[in-house]
């Protein structure tokens, strides 16, 4: 019995480690200042592609009925809570995901994106690009 438990734990450990090194999960977004929690974003996998939607707004200045009035695509005037802000992200290798886009609902702009779990999957480096310029935020795993 003891050997069976040890064998099961040994087989399960790599699976759990892999689960924590993927961007799939619930993340607390932190603003560029590195301190201000802005929202909770849930990232899911759909057919090998990652998508992410805002589950909850945490910043008091954003009301619960806020809409993406600056968006220019199919998300225009949609409620920010529930809004899909990450689209088309795929695994690129070495623990990096990219090739998709992220939307900033504050300005309605979309950016090419790269996601990279760090610190054993407890944090996520979220990088958005326009041409050679980029900005990076570090998000914190909630679940």
CATH numbers and ranges of domains, the chain = 2-141 (2.40.128.520)
Instruction: Supply the pLDDT for residue 31.
Output: 85
In contact, 108 and 72? CB cutoff 8 Å = yes
Share of the chain above pLDDT 90, in %: 73
**pLDDT tens, position by position, 12-71:** 444 444 445 899 999 999 988 888 899 999 999 999 999 999 999 997 676 778 999 999
Could you tell me the pLDDT band of residue 96, with boundaries at 50, 70 and 90? very high
Q: What is the pLDDT of residue 13?
A: 43
Question: For residues 57, 19, 86 and 106, what is the CA-based torsion angle, rounded to 10 degrees?
Answer: 30
Q: Is the pLDDT of residue 10 over 70?
A: no
Closest CA to 47 of 90, 104, 97: 90
């Amino acid at each position: 019995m003891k050997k069976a438990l040890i064998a099961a734990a040994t087989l399960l450990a790599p699976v759990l480690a892999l689960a924590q090194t993927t961007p799939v999960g619930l993340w607390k977004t932190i603003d560029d200042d590195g301190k201000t929690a802005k929202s909770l974003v849930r990232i899911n996998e759909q057919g090998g592609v990652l998508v992410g939607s805002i589950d909850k707004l945490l910043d008091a200045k954003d009301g619960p009925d806020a809409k993406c009035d600056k968006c220019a695509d199919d998300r225009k005037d949609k409620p920010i809570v529930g809004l899909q802000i990450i689209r088309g992200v795929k695994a690129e290798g070495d623990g990096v995901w990219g090739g998709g886009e992220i939307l900033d609902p504050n300005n309605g702009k979309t950016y090419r994106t790269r996601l990279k779990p760090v610190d054993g999957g407890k944090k996520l480096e979220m990088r958005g690009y326009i041409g050679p310029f980029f900005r990076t935020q570090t998000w914190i795993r909630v679940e």
